[in-house]
Structure 1
């Protein structure tokens, strides 16, 4: 017997039918749901806010990994999953 989640609003993960007891399918579904929720697979490698890369951010001196040692260290840690 398959389980089906209730209907969810837009932007929330939509679980498909997953056979009961099929842990592999459930794991794949969970990974897919997480990717759908965050908008990509994997880990975010640059935690720098997008605003810092805009003209306004640059002219205000907002840090980016390319211009600031601390921001570079944070990006490096994020890319290694630390």
Structure 2
């Protein structure tokens, strides 16, 4: 897989003035990157391809707005964050 995306996946950014980020609360890594930690798993699903079934989990991340979560591969999440399972 390639870590690229098509321009059709871009959406216009609509700023929300009610959401503010406290810059002092963000903990940066020594290489000046930010890696959010998962808070909890809220849902499970199985994505079916033609010949394979791929288990995925819906993860809420630290610092994300309410109701915002991402679907991640269950195998990757269980390797990196076994305490969630």
Structure ranking higher in strand proportion: 2
Higher relative contact order (CA 8 A, sep 6+): 1
TM range (shorter): under 0.3
Structure ranking higher in helix proportion: 1
Larger Rg: 1
TM-score, length of structure 2 as denominator length: 0.24
